Amino acid sequence: MAIVTIVGSGMMGSALAFPARENGNEVRLVGTHLDREIIDACIKTDRHPKFEKDFPEGLKYYQIEDLEEALNGADMVIGGVSSFGVEWFGEYVLPRIPEGVPVLSVTKGLMDTPEGKLLTYPEVWKKMLEKTGKKVSINAIGGPCTSYELVFHDQTMVAFCGDDMETLKKMKEIMATDYYHISLSTDVVGIESAVALKNGYALGIALTIGLNQKAFGIDSQLHFNSQAAIFGQSVKEMYKLLQYQGAGDLNNITVGAGDLYVTVYGGRTRLVGILLGRGLNIDEAKAELNGVTLESLVVAERVARAIKAAAVRGVLDTKDFPLLMHVDEIITEKKEVNIPWDTFTFVQEK
């Protein structure tokens, strides 16, 4: 039996308590400073407020003030914060984790530099740790997995990525179940970039749903030709960006494409894309989804900004990313949705 400490009681971090506990491990769920009400509810009901199923029996719940106690004796730590908590996690949590205890992050996203480079969150955290002189193994989860389906044991395939294969194997042994299937990869940049890039592109696909609702009515039959066309363009642009990132092989794009697929069919990114497609501008869409965090908007804007910076240096060409450039226009310039379909076509001679 291992001791698994999960820091961040959002939906995904909390969902991972299910396979971890059902494998016979001791699981400690720690709320961040923003999760106080969630942990209070868990203590009272043994259920996350957003879930329709009780936690496995025996979970232990902690407020953030008790973080050190929750970390004591832990064999692994799961970072369950959103992308908006990346700096907080690096500054507050990582320095408190004992050396030798690996971290497995669920946080998906990228940060851009003025030169147009894209940094994965494990890279960001490693740089933060360097300042402290502390050594902690930073790993991450990528792949198509929605929290509520994991809770209900839907068959799920993800990839754990990190620098050390032996560490990854140990974490897989702790977490893998007959419904939670885990691949392993030391290509952290490839896996993490793929699952972050899908956010902006999932929004692009969702635009077509809103456009069709605008044209034919909100309750009209779904139209799949346009969604499929944007999906194909998304994978093409993601592949070029993964090449730019120096990703390893085809496994990365398959993980990213799978994550893209599941994101289109559920979640906040789908909702905001539909609203934009119906004709709302970005401010109106945000107002409509009051209180909902929209990480996809942040990722899309950062990646588009990196492409533009890299284009200035002659490393990339913005014309190779017409879909993402249009998504960026919608977000940052409040332009109307006008998908540039003809830019997606190609002429190929064998």
Active site residues: 198
For residue 242 the two structure tokens come to 């993964």
For residue 345 the two structure tokens come to 């076509």
What phi and psi values does residue 228 have, to the nearest 5 degrees?
-65, -40
Half-sphere exposure of 242 (CA within 13 A, CB side): 28
Give the C-alpha separation, 70 to 93, whole Å: 12
Q: What angle do CA 207, 343, 242 make, to 5 degrees?
A: 80
Give the C-alpha separation, 288 to 280, whole Å: 9
Amino acid (one-letter) located at 36: R
Q: Are the CB atoms for 307 and 313 separated by under 8 Å?
A: no
DSSP string, 202-253: HHHHHHHHHHHHHHH-TTSPP--HHHHHHHHHHHHHHHHHHHHHT--SHHHH
Supply the Cα-derived Rg of the chain in whole angstroms.
Answer: 20
Give the C-alpha separation, 209 to 265, whole Å: 11
For residue 11 the two structure tokens come to 């939906």
Q: Which among 64, 73, 75 is positioned nearest to 23, based on CA atoms?
A: 75
Helices 295-312 and 225-245: crossing angle in degrees, nearest 10, is 60
For residue 184 the two structure tokens come to 């392993």
Q: Which among 305, 317, 185, 344 is positioned nearest to 244, based on CA atoms?
A: 317
